Structure 1
Amino acid sequence: MEQSIENKLIKADKAFSEWKKVPFEDRQRLIAKAAEILKNNSEKFGTIITTEMNKPISQSIAEVEKCALMMNYYADAENILKPEKIDSEFNYSEVHYVPKGVILGVMPWNFPFWQVLRFAVPAMLAGNTIVLKHASICFGSGNAIVEVLLEAGFPEGVFQHLEVGHKEVKEILEHDTVKGVSLTGSGKAGGEVASIAGLNIKKSLLELGGSDAFIILDDADLDEAAAAGVKSRLQNCGQTCTAAKRFIIDEKIEDVFLPKFIAEYQTYVLGDPMNKDTVIAGMARPDLADELEKQFTKALENGAEIIIPLERISDNEFKPGLIRVQQGNPILQEELFGPLGIVMTAKNDDEALQMANNIPFGLSNSVWTANKDRQLFFIENLESGTVNINRMTSSDPRFPFGGTKASGYGTELSLLALKEFVTAKTIVGN
């Protein structure tokens, strides 16, 4: 291990010994200050995001502002980590929530501020210190977050950016100072990191891929569903784990809904990512575009039909595509990370549910129906960490966020996230 990385890990561990003693309310004040800095400089930080990974600037600014919103939620949150009294016959009868120590964050490029802060803020508020391994194209974002937290008054060493590649993750996670890891990324990366953590008896949290269903039933508001569905598929150029990826349409309304959906889809025209009116730009890297093109070809080779062709116009830009896919197509076992949507039709609610669940992933789903009984049927039977009724998926600091099946485990956001990287320490006796 490079000496500079070793030094940062030792610094994080030393910082932890002091940071864990800082009162919860004092940590909250620092988080509020950092939120203010982000909000007041959202355009500056949004420009870093767009420069690094090509997101339309208006979406980058919104990402920074959402970080500030989330941080203010935690700055005002109830302290659920206070010692908890348990009724018993003992004089000492308590549960204490003790932070674990240095936590490694392995974070992706698609939301370079949000993903990092979403994991780091509750972990730091709980008393842990953070070392970040950011995506290789997002080192500017990682360094900017460090600067914001230092400017807000966080002690040095509480949050550090390591600027390393994937090869170094194993060594870092095996280091004695590191006590846990949170990874947002692909299933392959998640499996590798979880196996290293497991072998070393360290806590892991995984937020992995998704292939979310967007189910439109015959009593839905079709205009609203069409607009929300397209936005959910194409924002951030389709590079979102919780994007709607499979549109399951009740066959009774397909003739009415699909033309509305196609018309809305075709309003997303490629533009300059630095223009505030741009709704879709190129993908983050050419190799990601290559991968999407291969998946498009694979889907077609296995019987998919083109509704709107996925048209590549540069090394990383596509005109968004839409394909009709039948059950059994192997593309349904993969995540499409880019501007390509899948359309399927269902004969009834039971078939729509079966289609929605018949994938390896379980991140989030969206169901559009006005009928309460039908809503309840999907709420109770969809296999996912989140179910949205008559709205597209978007994470909210107030609600737990996480997946099931191959989409990972553990909780981000909400008060529950404060307990992800703590030990419940039982105190009993007389």
Structure 2
Amino acid sequence: MTEFRSVDPSSGRLVLERPEASASEVDAALTRSAAAFRAWSEEPIATRAASLRRLGATLRARAERDGMLMAEEMGKPVAQGKAESEKCALACEHAAEHAAAWLAPEPVPTEARASYVRHDPVGPILAIMPWNFPFWQLFRFGASALAAGNTIVLKHAPNVPRCAEAIVAACAEADLPEGLILSLFARVDQLPGVIADDRIAAVTLTGSTRAGKTVAELAARALKPSVLELGGSDAFIVLADADLDQAAEVAARARLLNNGQSCIAAKRFIVERAVADDFVERFRSALAAHRVGDPRDPTTQVGPMARRDLRDELAGQVARSVAAGARVLLGAEAPARDGWWYPPTLLLGAGPGMAVWDEETFGPAAAVHVVEDARAAVRAANASPFGLGAAVWTADREQGARMAVELRCGAVFVNDLVRSDPRMPFGGTKQSGWGRELGREGMLELTDTKSVWIS
């Protein structure tokens, strides 16, 4: 039985299957990507930028359709899926706008007649992508990678084959050269050979920390660069002087966006004791107010989880944490219905030694931990193997900025929702990975830096 199966998570109904790629199909895909790279990398940046603008326009035109596809294939509320498609378009447009400046040779003053630094494309990139943001995860790095002159071989998650095909279809609709983004339904056991293949120049993975370690080892053996965006257990810190109404409203969105299945979702809520009771009550009400329902309904805010195993894993983490002493304030019991549903859940008294604190929770479960002061909040936030993002809520923006220095993670948002933005580099520290996507740093990440000296 093929592992590439599109299943409606609202009902558990099998929609379609796609056959796994044969060895000859893998070989043909790598040959096509390498051929496309040779032509694409020689195109002027202005030509590549024009292609990306067309792709952005196509993604905007397809946003309703592709948003519905995400709802059907992985349970994302359709309004959020439409917004995801539009964000992909924005990434394409932003990369197109800035590619010429970011990739321009940089003069370096020396005694030479001319000396400068170039940023050249590396070649075909293997992209091992997850299901949770099936379009955005690809374009988050891919828009910049294409602008820089690279091509992409997409190995998408097995449960979103229709999304993988839709991405390739969008490229064709935008009249991009054939082979810039290829979808390959490869098995996991085929990937070591793909990574080692001379036609692949680099690899990028968004996925679990365990998968990241495996890919990093394979890439290192082949002496190829890798970009790894891995797990997260973001802290959401609420200090005593915070606007509690606003903090609670954003906290609920930060935990429930994409049905709680986001690497940069707020997962550990660290609250100063002086306002803990007031914040927790507001937070509980905000979580409970989110509308759970059919992801195809534009008014739905929380849909089903993407797969049965994911729902069962989250339920187990919650149950083990409750057994260890956490107190249930909301949810924590899966409904008896078809599909892979789990309710917005709030646990109080979470802390080290509990699954909801020590592990990444990939679903709509929030864990609250009470601390005495801001210093203790930073210590609690940093006491995690992950380091993707963090939020600080305080009326004292200068204190928020100081805490941003102390927090060991890739992004800190003060009084706002942690998110990726095409204008800012995105990535993590510690067990959350390495390398950057988006921004100038993201475009240069998958280029070869070349020094040129002319006497």
TM-score (norm: length of structure 2): 0.92
Give the 5 Å matches for 1:35-74.
35-74=56-95
Deviations 1:167-217 (A, max 9, x none): 222121111100100100000111111110011100000000110011111
Please, which of 245, 264, 277 is the counterpart of residue 255 of structure 1?
Answer: 277
Q: Quick one: which amino acid aligns to residue 224 of structure 1? A: Q
Report the counterpart of residue 426 of structure 1 in structure 2.
451
Report the counterpart of residue 327 of structure 1 in structure 2.
351
Please, which of 184, 187, 199 is the counterpart of residue 177 of structure 1?
Answer: 199
Give the 5 Å matches for 1:154-303.
154-303=176-325
Instruction: Determine the C-alpha separation between the residues in 2 that align with 1:93 and 1:116.
Output: 35
Report the counterpart of residue 357 of structure 1 in structure 2.
382
Instruction: Determine the C-alpha separation between the residues in 2 that align with 1:182 and 1:323.
Output: 35
Aligned-residue offset at 1:151: 2.0
Deviations 1:26-74 (A, max 9, x none): 1111111111111112111111111110111111111111111121111
Instruction: Determine the C-alpha separation between the residues in 2 that align with 1:316 and 1:43.
Output: 24
Instruction: Determine the C-alpha separation between the residues in 2 that align with 1:137 and 1:7.
Output: 23
- Given that residues 245 and 342 in structure 1 are in contact (C-alpha distance below 8 angstroms), is that contact kept between their aligned partners in structure 2? yes
- Given that residues 29 and 75 in structure 1 are in contact (C-alpha distance below 8 angstroms), is that contact kept between their aligned partners in structure 2? yes
Aligned-residue offset at 1:372: 3.0
Which runs of 5 or more structure 1 residues have no equivalent in the other structure? none
Report the counterpart of residue 130 of structure 1 in structure 2.
152
Report the counterpart of residue 369 of structure 2 in structure 1.
344
Q: Quick one: which amino acid aligns to residue 427 of structure 2? A: G
Q: Quick one: which amino acid aligns to residue 365 of structure 2? A: L
Please, which of 87, 101, 104 is the counterpart of residue 82 of structure 1?
Answer: 104
TM-score (norm: length of structure 1): 0.98
- Given that residues 108 and 115 in structure 2 are in contact (C-alpha distance below 8 angstroms), is that contact kept between their aligned partners in structure 1? yes
Aligned-residue offset at 1:269: 3.5
Instruction: Determine the C-alpha separation between the residues in 1 that align with 2:280 and 2:316.
Output: 26
Deviations 1:58-92 (A, max 9, x none): 11111111111121111211522122221111124
- Given that residues 59 and 170 in structure 2 are in contact (C-alpha distance below 8 angstroms), is that contact kept between their aligned partners in structure 1? yes
Aligned-residue offset at 1:165: 2.6
Instruction: Determine the C-alpha separation between the residues in 2 that align with 1:327 and 1:146.
Output: 44
Q: Quick one: which amino acid aligns to residue 253 of structure 2? A: K
Aligned-residue offset at 1:294: 1.3
Report the counterpart of residue 318 of structure 1 in structure 2.
342
Answer with 195-204 or 154-163: which moved more: 154-163
- Given that residues 269 and 319 in structure 1 are in contact (C-alpha distance below 8 angstroms), is that contact kept between their aligned partners in structure 2? no
Instruction: Determine the C-alpha separation between the residues in 2 that align with 1:427 and 1:194.
Output: 30
Aligned-residue offset at 1:302: 2.3
Aligned-residue offset at 1:117: 1.1
Query: What SS is found at the alignment partner of 1:137?
Result: coil
Aligned-residue offset at 1:326: 4.3
Instruction: Determine the C-alpha separation between the residues in 1 that align with 2:296 and 2:33.
Output: 36
Percentage of matched positions with identical amino acids: 38
- Given that residues 303 and 329 in structure 1 are in contact (C-alpha distance below 8 angstroms), is that contact kept between their aligned partners in structure 2? no
Q: Quick one: which amino acid aligns to residue 396 of structure 2? A: N
Aligned-residue offset at 1:330: 3.9
Report the counterpart of residue 402 of structure 2 in structure 1.
377
Please, which of 409, 413, 422 is the counterpart of residue 388 of structure 1?
Answer: 413
Which runs of 5 or more structure 2 residues have no equivalent in the other structure? 1-21
Q: How many corresponding residue pairs?
A: 430
- Given that residues 49 and 99 in structure 2 are in contact (C-alpha distance below 8 angstroms), is that contact kept between their aligned partners in structure 1? no
Q: Quick one: which amino acid aligns to residue 341 of structure 2? A: E
Counterpart check, 1:120 vs 2:142: yes
Q: Quick one: which amino acid aligns to residue 377 of structure 1? A: R
- Given that residues 247 and 415 in structure 2 are in contact (C-alpha distance below 8 angstroms), is that contact kept between their aligned partners in structure 1? yes
Instruction: Determine the C-alpha separation between the residues in 2 that align with 1:350 and 1:135.
Output: 40
Aligned-residue offset at 1:246: 0.8
Query: What SS is found at the alignment partner of 2:271?
Result: strand
Report the counterpart of residue 14 of structure 1 in structure 2.
35
Q: CA RMSD in A?
A: 1.2
Answer with 302-311 or 28-37: which moved more: 302-311
- Given that residues 107 and 184 in structure 1 are in contact (C-alpha distance below 8 angstroms), is that contact kept between their aligned partners in structure 2? yes
Q: Quick one: which amino acid aligns to residue 389 of structure 1? A: V
Moved segments of 4+, more than 4 Å:
none
Aligned-residue offset at 1:262: 0.9
Instruction: Determine the C-alpha separation between the residues in 1 that align with 2:324 and 2:333.
Output: 19
Answer with 292-301 or 60-69: which moved more: 292-301
